[in-house]
A and B are shown apart, each in its own frame.
Chain A
Amino acid sequence: GAGVSQSPSNKVTEKGKDVELRCDPISGHTALYWYRQSLGQGLEFLIYFQGNSAPDKSGLPSDRFSAERTGGSVSTLTIQRTQQEDSAVYLCASSPSGTAYEQYFGPGTRLTVT
């Protein structure tokens, strides 16, 4: 079956612009997670959704970052007024439940802020 998909695969943007990153989880997975992978910081948790609600937003690095999930499916991560330090690979994962068992990862979106 189809895995987790993310779009775009690559995004180059100018400093100060807003960007939206999209994640399509595996059908039927109720839990959805966003992570960021960058040099020097490794893989960092950003936010966790169970259904459409986000019980854990503790990893969002600043108020420029926000995320939403609609219909218990697609999620969008929005970064406002992008900064060069936002350059990273943004990974989305989904799981059949909120138990963190076997999170399935998408291929990621590589964001470059110039």
Chain B
Amino acid sequence: AQSVTQLDSHVSVSEGTPVLLRCNYSSSYSPSLFWYVQHPNKGLQLLLKYTSAATLVKGINGFEAEFKKSETSFHLTKPSAHMSDAAEYFCVVSSGGTSYGKLTFGQGTILTVHP
């Protein structure tokens, strides 16, 4: 079985300040982990992915995430928020075994960026 917990349903930051979106996962197998972003009335877009290579993963638009197996975490960060980063972010896990090919989504974190 696999699951994802996003620790904050809403995060609010000022433009130019750092962003931290927290995610913990549970998986019976070696997981693949993803962050997806969904802007209002838009489709889901892949930000970055971890698939057992480097534990620090860099994605698009300056985002990065670090896989920490000991903490079962995969937090998303960005050094400086931009107004265009306002969106909903989903942490996602996929495992092998019987769940092969199936993504399990967290509940989402809505990021608000203030001028």
Q: Which of A35, A98, A106, A108 contacts B101 (CB 8 A)?
A: A98
Residue B77, interface by CB 8 Å: no
Tally of chain B residues near chain A (CB < 8 A): 22
* Majority SS at the chain A contact face: strand
CB of B27 within 8 Å of the partner chain:
no
Measured in the bound complex, the distance between the Cα atoms of B94 and A31 in whole Å is: 14
Cβ 8 A contact of B44, one of A42, A44, A55, A105: A105
Whether the pair B107, A45 counts as a contact (CB closer than 8 A) is: no
B108 contacts across to A, CB distance below 8 A: 42-43
CB contact under 8 A between A100 and B102, given known A42-B108, A43-B90: yes
15 pairs from A and B in contact (CB 8 Å cutoff):
A35-B105, A42-B106, A43-B90, A43-B105, A43-B108, A44-B105, A48-B101, A93-B44, A100-B32, A100-B102, A101-B51, A102-B46, A105-B43, A105-B44, A108-B43
Tally the A-B contacts, defined by beta carbons under 8 Å. 60
Contact partner of A45 (CB less than 8 A), chosen from B44, B45, B103, is B103
- A76: interface (CB < 8 Å): no
Enumerate A56-103 residues with CB–CB distance to B below 8 Å: 56, 58-59, 91, 93, 95, 98-103
**By the criterion CB–CB under 8 Å, are A50 and B43 in contact?**
no
Are B101 and A42 within 8 A (Cβ)?
no
Set of chain B residues within 8 Å of A48, measured between Cβ atoms: 101-102
Q: Which residues of A contact B107 (CB under 8 A)?
A: 42
A99-B101 contact in complex given A42-B107, A108-B43, C-beta closer than 8 Å: yes
Q: A45-B103, A56-B102, A108-B43 are in contact. List 19 more A-B contacts (CB 8 A).
A: A33-B101, A35-B105, A42-B106, A43-B90, A43-B105, A44-B105, A45-B102, A45-B104, A55-B101, A56-B100, A91-B44, A93-B44, A95-B101, A98-B101, A100-B94, A100-B101, A105-B36, A105-B44, A107-B43
